[in-house]
Amino acid sequence: MHSRRTVLTTAAAAAAAAAVAGAVPAHAAPPTPGRQPVPDAGTLARLRRLIARMTPEEKAGQLFVMRVYGHSATDPDPADVAANRKEIGVANAAELIAKYHVGGIIYFSWAHNTREPHQIADLSNGIQKAAAAQRVPVPLLISTDQEHGIVARVGAPATLLPGAMALGAGGSAAGARTAGRIAGRELYAMGIRQDYAPVADVNVNPANPVIGVRSFGADPQAVARMVGSQVKGYQDGGVAACAKHFPGHGDTDTDSHVGLPYIHHSAEEWERLDAPPFRAAIDAGIDSIMTAHIVVPAFDPSEDPATLSRPILTGILRERLGYDGVVVTDSLGMEGVRVKYGDARVPVLALKAGVDQLLNPPDLSVAHAAVVKAMAEGELAEPDIDAKLLRILLLKERRGLFRDPYTTHQDVDRVVGTREHLAAADRIAGRTTTLLRNDGGVLPLSRRRQPRVLVVGADAAAPSGTGGPPTAVLAKALTELGFTAHALATGMTPDQRRIDEAVAALGERDAVVVATYNVSAGSSQRKLVAALLGTGKPVVQLAVRNPYDIARLDGVRAALASYSWTDVELRAAARVIVGRRDPAGRLPVAIMRADAPDQELFPIGHGLAYP
C-alpha cells in the first residue's frame, strides 16, 4: 500500500534502463539516504508497454490534471452540468476522461466535489470506473489542496487539523508527521491519492498576501524540519505529498493568482532562505513538487515565471537538487503564469522547462491541442514526453492505483473522522496557541472574576465544512468551559454602528475576547479594539489569521495568536484563554514594529507562559 518513491536521477535512469535489459538485478545498489530505490525491472517494463500503446492524444491527456464540477462522475446536478459544458465542453467527469484522457482530477469544494466523505468516495470510484473503460486503461491520480488551517477542501466530519504556521508554533516535528499521517489516511480512504501539501515556502515577508500562515514560519531550518516530517506523514498515510511552491513563494508582496510576483533574492540568499525546505522534502522521499508562478531574475534573466523556466526547473530543481520525481505546475488559470504568454503556449513551455503534470488550465481544449501539435511538430520530443509519463505512472504505481484504485464506505467509516483522529487533532492544537502579551496578568480569565464573556470580531468564512464563524465557535467553546459567553460578529470592517453595538453589549459583561483578522494601518478593526479598551473592561485580543495584528493595536494588554479561525485551533485558544491549558506555542515568525518596520516587537521563538 505504501510503496516507495523513486528518484530517477541521470545515473538512476541509466541503472533502470540496465535493469530492464537484465544487466543488473533490481535494487543492486543501496539507495541514497532519505531517497528511494529504483523500481524493479518488471514494473518499468510493464509501464513502458502501457505508454507505448498510447496515441499522441492519449499521451497528451495523461499530462493534465483538471477540475470538473459535480458530486458524481456521471450524474451531477444540472447547474454543474451547465458549468462543465461552458468551461470544459463536457457534461461530467466521465465525459472529461473519455474526451481528453486526463491523467488526474483535482477536487474543489466550490466545484461541489467534496460534500461529505461517502459522496467523495463514490465520486472517486466513479472516476476510476470511467478511467478503466478507456482504450488504454490508466487509473487517475485524484488530488486536492488539503493543507489544513485556512486551506481545506474536505471538511467535517473528516478530521480538521492545525495548519502549517500553527504546527510551526507548536514546534513538534512528530506532531507535524502525525497530522500528515492522519490527513493522508483519511484522504486515501476517500479515494484521493495526492495532497498538494505541505507548503515549503519560508514566509520571511509579513506583507505576503498569499502564503502567510500557510507556511510553517520564517526560520528556514525550522521550516525544513517540519516539511520533511510532514512529507513522511502524508506518505506514511498512503498519499503522495507535494511540496509547494518551488523555488519559494515566501518573500513576495504580490499574489500570483492575480499578478506576477518577483523574488529578488540572490543565488546565495535563495540557498540560505528558500532551498532548505525543498531539500528536506526531497531527502524525505517526496513524490511531487509544485512550481510557483514567480520570477527569480537571479536564476533566469529572461524573467519567465519559474513554471516556464528551464534554468529553474531543470537547472536547479532537477540537476542541482537531484530531484527526478513528478513536477506539477500550480494552476495554469492563475494570472501569474498568463501575463507573458498565451494559454496555448503556456503548457508547451512548462513541459519544455521540466514540468510533468499540467494543472487546471483555463481552457483544456486549447491546452490539450497545443501539446498534441507541439508533439507532432517535434517541439516536444516523444522520448521526453514518455519520460514524463513514466514518472507519473511510477507515482501512481507507488500509491497503489494500478493494484486497486477503489475504496468503500466501510473504508471511510473505519478511518475518516474517528475519535482517535479527532482527539489527536485536539492534542496537536493544544501546543500551538501563542501568548504574545499578558501585561498585568489579564489572562487567564476566571469564572469567578469574569464569568460573563463577550466575543466579538472577525467573521471570516472558514473553509467549507470546517466550522465557524470564529465568534460563534469561541463563544461555544467558552460556554462549554463553564463561562457564560455571547457571540457578536462585527466583521473585518466594522462600521461605527457595529462598534457602538459591541461597546453596548460589553456593558453588562465582565470581559471581552476580540478576534482580529490581518489588521492593517487603516483597518476599522483598530477602532473597534480602541473602543473596547475605552470601557475599562479586560480585553483579550486573538489574531485568527496572521499573527502580526498586535503591532497595530496600541493599548492591548493581553494578546494571543491562533494562526487560523478553524474550529480545532479556536477550541485550543479558548482552553488557553481560561487557563485550562498553558500557552505552549512559540512564534515561528518575527513580528515587527508598525512604527519601525526594521525593529522587532517580538522575535521568532517568543511566547509567554502562565506563572
- Cell numbers at residue 73, please? 462522475
Distance between CA atoms of 58 and 296, rounded to whole angstroms?
34
Look at residue 550 and give its three-state secondary structure. helix
Range list of β-strands (E), 1-145: 64-66, 104-107, 141-144
Q: Which long-range contacts (CB under 8 A, 24 or more apart) does 20-24 make?
A: 20/44, 20/45, 20/48
Range list of β-strands (E), 247-399: 288-291, 326-328, 358-359
- Cell numbers at residue 381, please? 520530443
Question: From the candidates 40, 118, 257, 582, which is the catalytic residue?
Answer: 257
- Cell numbers at residue 27, please? 535494487
Report strand pairing: 511-516 vs 539-543: parallel
Q: Phi first, then psi: give them for residue 460, nearest 5 degrees.
A: -55, 140
Is position 195 annotated as part of the catalytic site?
no
Give the bridge partners for 560, in sequence order: 435, 542
Distance between CA atoms of 325 and 282, rounded to whole angstroms?
9
User: Contact 454/486 with Cβ under 8 angstroms?
Assistant: yes
Question: From the candidates 201, 219, 330, 459, which is the catalytic residue?
Answer: 330
Distance between CA atoms of 590 and 251, rounded to whole angstroms?
14
User: Contact 327/354 with Cβ under 8 angstroms?
Assistant: yes
Give the bridge partners for 32, in sequence order: none
Using N-to-C axis directions, what is the helix angle for 117-132 and 93-100, rounded to 10°?
30
466's enclosing H/E stretch is none
Full DSSP string of 157-185: TSPP---HHHHHHHT-HHHHHHHHHHHHH
Is position 330 annotated as part of the catalytic site?
yes
Distance between CA atoms of 381 and 56, rounded to whole angstroms?
11
Residue with cell 508562478: 293
CA angle at 534 for the pair 531 and 535, rounded to the nearest 5°: 105
User: Contact 289/327 with Cβ under 8 angstroms?
Assistant: yes
Q: How many residues does the chain have?
A: 611
Q: Tell me the catalytic residues.
A: 257, 330
